[in-house]
Structure 1
């Protein structure tokens, strides 16, 4: 039996918040095989970072089989946490940052780690509000979703 190569899904995510904390929204765009799927949601009292993280979680949880996932995000926090190994250091220190303070939003970091388990995830930092069509679209989805919670 030959091992099937996992499909590659391109994902763009973004979060938005009116006030920080305040009403917020998240948006995600998943692309595979010429098809696109948009997801969005929000919360009445949240932060921008929580919405950025929720977008990643919901995008990963929308996948129904193990995939190679290329996540494009304008959140330096999320991308750097994985690409620069911050999350590994936090785990080794019991969810403490280098300054010994607790890592904010641990609940969502744990959700991201769980959602990543079946997949091979590649993190790609994109510059926000720089004309990237798909990044602009997920920003629009996040802002529209946040308005439903104001």
Structure 2
């Protein structure tokens, strides 16, 4: 499929955790072709890094066909993991340069599979600095925390 025919998607993701580890939430807001979609969720016992990963995984998983995505993210952990570290982790059998197992390996592997379906431009944004999309994703992540807390 040529790039000209791929849907263009703007996506913002964020994770939140009340305690680390603690009750966590993730949120994703995306827009494409005049349409918008918000999703969120959470876990009762998790970490902020896991929620940051989950937000991206869930957003990408929602897309039914390959897309050109501009992904706005405030997590350098996730962005660097995909753009800088993952290739080496995979080459080393999901071990770090220090020969330690990669933390959150299963989530990284899920993310790797989702990323492979799309063309993604990664854009780091400073969290809680007024970026409207990031603020919306943060609100969704906190909604995920609240929904999870209410279900306990």
TM-score (norm 2): 0.92
User: Would you identify which runs of 4 or more consecutive aligned residues in structure 1 move more than 6 Å?
Assistant: none
| Contact 1:13–1:56 under 8 Å retained in 2 | yes
SS of residue paired to 1:89: helix
1:92 paired residue number: 91
Q: Give a deviation string over 1:119-148, Cα, whole Å, max 9, x none.
A: 112211111010001100110110121022
The residue number in structure 2 matching 1:54 is 54
Query: Take 1:52 and 1:78, find their aligned partners in 2: how far apart are those partners?
Result: 7
Describe the superposition over 1:30-67 as per-residue Cα deviations: whole angstroms up to 9, x where unpaired.
11012211000001111101100000010001111111
Whole-Å separation in 2 of the counterparts to 1:129 and 1:25: 16
Structure 2 residue runs without a partner (length 5+):
none
Whole-Å Cα distance in 2 between the matches of residues 59 and 148 of structure 1?
A: 18
Between the two proteins, the alignment pairs up a number of residues equal to 148
Residue 12 of structure 1 aligns with which residue? 12
C-alpha contact (below 8 Å) 2:15/2:55 kept by paired residues: yes
Q: What TM-score do the two structures reach when normalised by structure 1?
A: 0.93
1:26-65 residue pairs with structure 2 within 5 A? 26-65=26-65
Matched-pair contact (CA < 8 Å) for 1:82–1:123: no
